[in-house]
C-alpha cells in the first residue's frame, strides 16, 4: 500500500497565486514518487494579520467566538485555490475545512485544543485517489461552532493528522529548517540536522515561531517524525526526533527570542497570604497566560509583583489588574521589552551556563529586567531595542555561529 504523507505549507509558501502553483507542482511531484497525500495549508501571506487588524479597528476586545469565524476564513482561501491549481493539472483533489474533516475541539475560542480527529472522510477520499487538502488552524466543537487553535496552529493540525493517519509529516516553510536561532535576525545562525522534541518544544514555547509548541507536544506523544524544510529548495531540512545521548554533548542548542512580551508591574500590593493567589487566579480565569513572575518586598508590608504576558492578552490582563487600583496599588506596563532565552538538554550537566549568558549581555550593555531558569533553559527579559545585539552576542558566546 502507498504510504501516506502529510505536507504542510505555511502562509509565506502560499502567499500569492504563483506560489500556490509552485506548491501544487511540489505536491504532484510527491504523488509521482508514490505517496498518498494529505496537504495542510495556512492562510495566504499576511491574511490572518489583516483579518485581525480589521476586527481590532472596530474594538480592542472583539468577541472570541466571532474572531474564530473570521480568522478561519483565511485558510479557506488557500485550500480552494490550491485544489483548483491541482485539478487544472488533471489530478483529482478535494479541499476540506476542519469541520468537514471532523477535527473536534474544545470550545475555548482562539486557543482551542483538539479532542479528536475522525480519519473516515480523509481515508475515503484517499481511497478515491484524491489529494486531500485540509484547512489548517481550525476545528469545530460538538455543537458545530467554528474554533481556531492559536496563532501558528496549522502546524498542530498537520502533526495531529499525521498521528491519526500514522503518516510522515513534512512542514514546508520559508527557511531551510530549524536553525540555532532565527536566521532572519542573526546572520550567523546554523541549520540543525536533528533536534530532540524536548529542545524544539522548549524553543517553540519560548517564542521560536518556526514550529508551534503544541504541535511538537503531539508529535512527541505519538512518535511522529517531523521534517521541517523549505518550500523553495529541495535541500534536506531538520528532523525532529527522540533525544539520543549524543545530543546531550551540545550544551546550548539554540537562542530564542520573543518579541510579543509585555511586563506588567503591580506596585505596593499588601504583603499577606492569598494576595498572589487571588491575582493570578483572576488572570487565569480571564484566560491570560502568565509567563515570568517576580515578587520583591517593598516597605511597610507592601510587595511589588511584576509578571510578563503575551501582548495579545494585554487588554484582558489590564481589566483584571485595574481593579486593584482601588486599594492604592499602582499598575504599570512596559511593552518595549523582549525575552531572550538559551535552550539545550546538555545544560542539565554543565555549570556556569547562566553566568556566561549574563556576562555576554553585560559586555554588550544589555540590562536584564527579569530572569527565569529551568533544567534546559535560561530566559532574560531585556529592552526590546537591545534584542538584536543581545541575540548576536549570546549566539556567539556559546559557539553557535556558522
Neighbouring residues of 182: CB distance < 8 A, sequence distance ≥ 6: 189, 208, 209, 210, 257, 391
Distance CA 339, CA 323 (A): 27
Nearer to ligand ASP, 98 or 153 (CB): 153
Site string for ligand ADP, 98-127 (x = CB under 6 A): ------------------------------
Nearer to ligand ASP, 66 or 388 (CB): 66
In whole angstroms, how close is the CB of 178 to ligand ADP at the nearest point?
Answer: 5
237 is in the binding site of which of Mg ion, ligand ASP, ligand ADP, none (Cβ under 5 to 8 A by kind)?
A: none
Q: What are phi and psi of 105, to 5 degrees?
A: -130, 175
Stretch that binds Mg ion, among 9-17, 239-247, 260-268, 290-298 (CB under 5 A): 9-17
C-alpha cell at 310: 503575551
Distance CA 283, CA 305 (A): 14
C-alpha cell at 221: 506523544
In whole angstroms, how close is the CB of 229 to ligand ADP at the nearest point?
Answer: 11
Asked whether 143 and 205 are in contact (CB, 8 A), the reply is: no
C-alpha pair distances (Å), 206 with each of 139, 156, 295, 310: 25, 17, 21, 11
What is the full DSSP assignment across 166-201? T-EEEEEESSSS-BSS-TTT-TT--B-SEEEHHHHH
Site string for ligand ADP, 200-239 (x = CB under 6 A): --------xxx-----------------------------
Q: Counting contacts by CB under 5 A, is residue 152 touching Mg ion?
A: yes
In whole angstroms, how close is the CB of 43 to ligand ASP at the nearest point?
Answer: 4
Pick out residues in 146-175 that bind ligand ADP (CB under 6 A).
152, 173-175
151 is in the binding site of which of Mg ion, ligand ADP, ligand ASP, none (Cβ under 5 to 8 A by kind)?
A: ligand ASP
In whole angstroms, how close is the CB of 117 to ligand ASP at the nearest point?
Answer: 17
* Burial profile 306-343: b = 16 or more Cβ within 10 angstroms, e = fewer: bbbbbebbbeebbebbeebeeeebebeebeebbbbbbb
Site string for ligand ASP, 146-185 (x = CB under 6 A): -----xxxx-------------------------------
182 is in the binding site of which of Mg ion, ligand ADP, ligand ASP, none (Cβ under 5 to 8 A by kind)?
A: ligand ADP
Q: How many residues bind ligand ADP (CB under 6 A)?
A: 19
Neighbouring residues of 306: CB distance < 8 A, sequence distance ≥ 6: 263, 264, 265, 266, 293, 294, 370
In whole angstroms, how close is the CB of 400 to ligand ADP at the nearest point?
Answer: 11
392 is in the binding site of which of ligand ADP, Mg ion, ligand ASP, none (Cβ under 5 to 8 A by kind)?
A: none
Pick out residues in 11-50 that bind ligand ASP (CB under 6 A).
11, 42-43, 48
Nearer to ligand ADP, 270 or 346 (CB): 346
Distance CA 10, CA 151 (A): 12
C-alpha cell at 86: 491541482
Site string for ligand ASP, 53-92 (x = CB under 6 A): ---------------------x------------------
In whole angstroms, how close is the CB of 155 to Mg ion at the nearest point?
Answer: 6
In whole angstroms, how close is the CB of 175 to ligand ADP at the nearest point?
Answer: 5
Spatial CA neighbour of 343 closest among 127, 219, 199:
199
Site string for ligand ASP, 106-145 (x = CB under 6 A): ------------------------------xx--------
Asked whether 342 and 380 are in contact (CB, 8 A), the reply is: no
C-alpha cell at 316: 484582558
Across the beta sheet with 377-383, what order do the strands follow? Answer: 254-258, 337-343, 377-383, 370-374
Q: Which residue has the cell 496537504?
A: 39
Residue number with the smallest Cβ distance to Mg ion: 152
Which residues are near ligand ASP by CB under 6 A?
10-11, 42-43, 48, 74, 136-137, 151-154
Which residues are near Mg ion by CB under 5 A?
10, 152
Amino acid at each position: 500500500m502507498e504510504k501516506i504523507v502529510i505536507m504542510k505549507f505555511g502562509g509565506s509558501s502560499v502567499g500569492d497565486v504563483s506560489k500556490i502553483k509552485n506548491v501544487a507542482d511540489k505536491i504532484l511531484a510527491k504523488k509521482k514518487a508514490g505517496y498518498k497525500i494529505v496537504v495542510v495549508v495556512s492562510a495566504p501571506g499576511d491574511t490572518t494579520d489583516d483579518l485581525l487588524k480589521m476586527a481590532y479597528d472596530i474594538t480592542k476586545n472583539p468577541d472570541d467566538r466571532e474572531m474564530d469565524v473570521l480568522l478561519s476564513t483565511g485558510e479557506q482561501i488557500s485550500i480552494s485555490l490550491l485544489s483548483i491549481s491541482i485539478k487544472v493539472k488533471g489530478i483529482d483533489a478535494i479541499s476540506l475545512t476542519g469541520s468537514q474533516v471532523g477535527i473536534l475541539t474544545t470550545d475555548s475560542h482562539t486557543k482551542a485544543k483538539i479532542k479528536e480527529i475522525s480519519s473516515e472522510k480523509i481515508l475515503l477520499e484517499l481511497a478515491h485517489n484524491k489529494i486531500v487538502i485540509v484547512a489548517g488552524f481550525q476545528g469545530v466543537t460538538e455543537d458545530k461552532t467554528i474554533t481556531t487553535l492559536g496563532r501558528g496552529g496549522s502546524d498542530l493540525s498537520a502533526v495531529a493528522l499525521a498521528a491519526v493517519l500514522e503518516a510522515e509529516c513534512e512542514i514546508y516553510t520559508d527557511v531551510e529548517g530549524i536553525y540555532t536561532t532565527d536566521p532572519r535576525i542573526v546572520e550567523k545562525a546554523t541549520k540543525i540536522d536533528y533536534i530532540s522534541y524536548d529542545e524544539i518544544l522548549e524553543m517553540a514555547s519560548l517564542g521560536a515561531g518556526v514550529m508551534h509548541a503544541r504541535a511538537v507536544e503531539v508529535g512527541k506523544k505519538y512518535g511522529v517524525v517531523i521534517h521541517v524544510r523549505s518550500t523553495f529548495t529541495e535541500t534536506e531540512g531538520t528532523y525532529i526526533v527522540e533525544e539520543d545521548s549524543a545530543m546531550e554533548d551540545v550544551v546550548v542548542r539554540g537562542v530564542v527570542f520573543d518579541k510579543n512580551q509585555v511586563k506588567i508591574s503591580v506596585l505596593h500590593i499588601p504583603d499577606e497570604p492569598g494576595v498572589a493567589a487571588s491575582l493570578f487566579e483572576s488572570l487565569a480565569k480571564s484566560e491570560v497566560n502568565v509567563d515570568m513572575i517576580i515578587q520583591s518586598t517593598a516597605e511597610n508590608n507592601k510587595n511589588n509583583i511584576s509578571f510578563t504576558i503575551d501582548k495579545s492578552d494585554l487588554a484582558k490582563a489590564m481589566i483584571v489588574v485595574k481593579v486593584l487600583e482601588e486599594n492604592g496599588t499602582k499598575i504599570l506596563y512596559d511593552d518595549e521589552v523582549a525575552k531572550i532565552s538559551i535552550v539545550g538538554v546538555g545544560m542539565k550537566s554543565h555549570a556556569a551556563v547562566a553566568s556566561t549568558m549574563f556576562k555576554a549581555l553585560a559586555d554588550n550593555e544589555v540590562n536584564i529586567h527579569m530572569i527565569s531558569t529551568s533544567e534546559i533553559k535560561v530566559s532574560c527579559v531585556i529592552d526590546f531595542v537591545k534584542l538584536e545585539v543581545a541575540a548576536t552576542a549570546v549566539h556567539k558566546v556559546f559557539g553557535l555561529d556558522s
